[in-house]
Amino acid sequence: MMIRFIYLLTLAVTVMLHSPAQSDLHEFVTSAKETVERGSIEFDKSLLMQGHSLFERALAMEPDNPLLQYHVAYAEYRLMTYLLNREKDRFDPVAHKAVERLERILRRKPEWSEAQALLSAIHGLQIAKSWTRALTLGPKANSLAQQATGNDPENPRAWLMHAAQKLNTPRMFGGSIDEALDAYKKSVELFENRGEYDSLEPSWGYTDALVWLGITYERLDRDEDALAVFEKVLEIEPDYGWVKYNLLPAVEEKLVSN
């Protein structure tokens, strides 16, 4: 708790002392990425909000930059995940902003795989919030994920969202857990073999791909494989509470009982 407090205090002081005009854009975005990532791993609303604020300050430097607009929507996506579980009454306004932001980006860049994948993910959260939206948003999310992999087959986040669609769509509508498994494997492979990338480019999703690969293995009763993946996640992110306190113990219990 004390470490997190010191981190937040240091970050807040840094933001107050450096206006956008004085700051290097790449450093601002890197700091925002790290903050949102920590907030997501630790499921910490204060960090997610701080990261969102940092991305908005970066966007103020270049308001027409679609990459920076994307990053703000990404922070909203992570915040939506938190709100879906903790503060559902605040979910819809954030979702509305994120969807509008990404739709504006796609009007300018209609074949941008990153924006398509992220919008697919956000529609997935909207469906999780209210299953009555599945009939309208389900086909949109699926189409966006397919377009994302088609427009950039080397984009690991596109395969991550393609896998999510296959995993969460009923079989009668095209879902397939086996296809989901293959797509999660593809996403992980692309993440692990990626080269250098510009700090302004999207870089999130590796731990997500690993976690959902493990979940898919567990649903297929491949518990040894699931255990190995969850242990790998904790090697990368030891404080990943969902894996540490829920997913991993559940698989370990299954293995003992079997």
The amino acid present at 180, given as its one-letter code, is A
Alpha helices in the chain (DSSP H): 2-17, 25-42, 45-61, 66-86, 91-108, 113-129, 134-151, 156-168, 177-192, 206-219, 223-236, 241-242, 248-257
First to last CA, the chain: 38
Asked whether 190 and 167 are in contact (CB, 8 A), the reply is: no
Based on the fold, state whether residues 146 and 242 are members of the same structural domain.
yes
Domain limits at 236?
A: 140-194+204-258
- Any domain includes 118: no
Residuewise pLDDT in 10s, the chain (258 residues) = 444 444 544 554 454 444 444 458 888 899 999 999 999 999 999 999 999 999 999 999 999 999 999 999 999 999 999 999 999 999 999 999 999 999 999 999 999 999 999 999 999 999 999 999 999 999 999 999 999 999 999 999 999 999 999 999 999 999 999 999 999 999 999 999 998 888 899 999 999 999 999 999 999 999 999 999 999 999 999 999 999 999 999 999 999 997
- Any domain includes 11: no
Residues found in the chain: 258
Based on the fold, state whether residues 98 and 152 are members of the same structural domain.
no
Supply the pLDDT for residue 198: 87
Based on the fold, state whether residues 148 and 50 are members of the same structural domain.
no
Tokens of 78: 């992570």
Among candidates 211, 167, 214, 158, which has minimal Cα distance to 186? 158
Domain count, the chain: 2
Based on the fold, state whether residues 247 and 152 are members of the same structural domain.
yes
- Any domain includes 69: yes
Based on the fold, state whether residues 94 and 187 are members of the same structural domain.
no
Q: Assign 209 to helix, strand or coil.
A: helix
